[in-house]
Amino acid sequence: MQYFIQTFGCQMNMHDSRRMDEVLTRAGYTPAGAVSDASVVVLNTCSVREKAEHKLLSALGTLKSLKAVRPDAVLAVAGCVAQQEGEKLLKRAPHLDLVIGPDNIVELADLVRHIQRGGPPIARTVFDYDEPGFLRAFPSERKREVTSYVTVMKGCDERCSFCIVPYTRGKERYRTSDDILAEITQHVAGGVREVTLLGQTVNSWYEAGRDSRGTASQFSELLYRIAREVPKLTRLRYTSPHPRHVTDALIRAHSDLAVLPSHVHLPVQSGSNRVLRRMIRKYTREAYIERAHRLLSARRDMTLSTDIIVGFPGETDEDFEQTLSLVSEVGFVSAFAFKYSPRPYTPALKFGDDVPEAVKEERLATLFQHMELQQQRHLTSLVGSVQSVLVEAASRDGSSRFMGRNQCHDIVHIECAPNPDPIGQLLDVEITEAYKHSMRGIARGSTHAAPPLRMVRRLPLAV
Ligand code: 5AD
């Protein structure tokens, strides 16, 4: 029997879809090439911004037509909208069979079978607080995977006033370092070269059972331990850190560990102290800039990217100017920018949504212009340099080029001839041209193995 999963939204969701893949294939289902061939269809949803819900509604409409021609197909909604709406979704969309929350993925195949045996529709959205489960996503045997994601924590204890995540993903739960290490080791043995540690506030990770969170530097200790115990790992990324957990120890790890890339994605959301306070971000503009500058000086080629919300309730032109000035003061090389979207249950609802749509649009466009200039400046500055590029895949444009990323996580399109199969290799690439959002280059010299672990300091004891 075949299944089809459609994923909306973030990396966390893509990773969850992988785990659903595994749960279903282990139970004997096989992936379908198209939704029309599938007997089980899962929409894995995101509710961080309103747009994602709109997409869900239109997908539900499409599924309704599918159900009309294939009444035996099992239709499921998973992810944050499932968690948020629960049974209400079943009432709203009577053609739905299953609503399943992120913590219940492990039960997916059993629930599907229950429906296939004629059981009634089910909403299963229970947080696993008592026994948090962290399903592993194994590297695919079908396609070669150079990069993979490993969850280190889930949920979120922050209460940013705009954000629905604490309500859809629950409170923070942390995985043990032994478990994390075991999964990374397994990925690397399966051919993975770059691992990204995942968590809603990934750097608040700590080892459950250790007496206190202390200075919250346990996350950096985890990075040292991974570097030490998985020496074959080429790159170790993490996303997304919260600025208030960027400790001195974490900054130091970036100087110490060659396996960390020269790039951090550090969401700032706004450059105005007034807005940051109303967002409950728990840092000031000055504190953010100070930490950003220290991160930037941890490495010669370090770059930062960020997330920004424009049009948060009460945001004035002056507040927005503050955001623009922070963007240039920090010198981000890229940013994800979003128009504020009121979300159910969130504290910011009480402020109303008072910035007119046209003003939000204008601010977003201005911000994008600024960011494009900064990205362009950064990419152009690399023309003529030799970058260490991890090759991820063949280019999608049908050319003989390959696509990879340099240490700063910038995309590089590479001419690799005469190397017929460079996927998974770390190549020295001379950058010949900068495009708007990527670069082009020619592979030079021979490939080299994972960079040596450059340890300039004594390592902390094992976590
Ligand atoms: N409106 C707009 N953007 C939001 N984000 C989170 N919640 C909202 C919202 N209500 C953005 C933040 C966050 C990213 C994942 O999504 O910038 O970092």
Looking up tokens 């409170």, which residue turns up?
A: 171
pLDDT number for residue 139: 72
**Which ligand 1 atom is at minimum distance from the Cα of 342?**
10
pLDDT number for residue 458: 34
**Which ligand 1 atom is at minimum distance from the Cα of 164?**
7
**Which ligand 1 atom is at minimum distance from the Cα of 308?**
17
Ligand 1 atom 18, closest CA: 307
What would the two tokens of residue 34 be?
Answer: 């198209």
**Which ligand 1 atom is at minimum distance from the Cα of 346?**
10
**Which ligand 1 atom is at minimum distance from the Cα of 348?**
10
Position 371: which residue type? Answer: M
Residues in CB range of 262: below 8 A, 6 or more apart:
299, 300, 301, 302, 303, 407, 408
Interatomic CA distance for residues 153 and 140, integer angstroms: 22
- Between the CA of 161 and the centroid of ligand 1 the distance, in Å, is 10
Helix (H, G, I), strand (E, B) or coil at 221: helix
Classify residue 139 by its DSSP letter.
P
Ligand 1 atom 5, closest CA: 48
pLDDT tens for each residue of 111-127: 999 999 999 999 999 99
- Between the CA of 175 and the centroid of ligand 1 the distance, in Å, is 25
CA angle centred on 156, ends 153 and 161, rounded to 5°: 160
Residues in CB range of 56: below 8 A, 6 or more apart:
8, 43, 45, 77, 81
CA–chain centroid gap for 211, Å, is 29
Answer for the pair 201, 242: CB distance below 8 angstroms, yes or no: yes
Q: For a substitution probing ligand 1, which of 163, 169, 364 has the most ligand atoms within 8 Å of its CB?
A: 163
Ligand 1 atom 7, closest CA: 163
Cβ atoms < 10 Å from Cβ of 347: 14
Q: For a substitution probing ligand 1, which of 80, 160, 162 has the most ligand atoms within 8 Å of its CB?
A: 162
Ligand 1 atom 14, closest CA: 307
> What residues are paired with 388 via a beta bridge?
428
Beta pairing, strands 438-448 & 74-78: unpaired
Residues in CB range of 458: below 8 A, 6 or more apart:
none
- Between the CA of 377 and the centroid of ligand 1 the distance, in Å, is 27
Rounded (10°) CA dihedral 203, 206, 211, 213: 10
- Between the CA of 364 and the centroid of ligand 1 the distance, in Å, is 13
Q: What percent of the chain has pLDDT over 90?
A: 79
pLDDT tens for each residue of 155-199: 999 999 999 999 999 999 999 999 999 999 999 999 999 999 999
Which residues of the chain have a pLDDT value below 70?
A: 141-142, 209-216, 445-463
- Between the CA of 48 and the centroid of ligand 1 the distance, in Å, is 6
Nearest to 158 by CA among 196, 204, 125: 204
- Between the CA of 333 and the centroid of ligand 1 the distance, in Å, is 19
Q: Give all strands of the β-sheet with 122-124 in edge-to-edge order.
A: 30-31, 2-7, 40-45, 74-78, 98-100, 122-124
Interatomic CA distance for residues 267 and 372, integer angstroms: 18
Cβ atoms < 10 Å from Cβ of 65: 10
Listed in order, strand segments (DSSP E) in 208-316 are: 235-239, 263-265, 303-310
> Which burial class, exposed, middle or buried, applies to 340 when counting CB atoms under 10 A from its CB (0-12, 13-18, 19+)?
buried
Ligand 1 atom 16, closest CA: 48
Cβ atoms < 10 Å from Cβ of 313: 19
Q: Find the largest Cα–Cα distance for the chain.
A: 65
- Between the CA of 5 and the centroid of ligand 1 the distance, in Å, is 24
- Between the CA of 306 and the centroid of ligand 1 the distance, in Å, is 11
- Between the CA of 348 and the centroid of ligand 1 the distance, in Å, is 12
Q: Ligand 1: residues whose CB is within 6 Å?
A: 48-49, 162-163, 267, 269, 307, 309, 338, 340-341, 343
**Can you state the angle between helices 248-256 and 218-229, rounded to 10 degrees?**
20
**Which ligand 1 atom is at minimum distance from the Cα of 343?**
10
Interatomic CA distance for residues 270 and 291, integer angstroms: 15
- Between the CA of 309 and the centroid of ligand 1 the distance, in Å, is 6
User: How many residues belong to the chain?
Assistant: 463
- Between the CA of 23 and the centroid of ligand 1 the distance, in Å, is 30
Answer for the pair 5, 21: CB distance below 8 angstroms, yes or no: yes
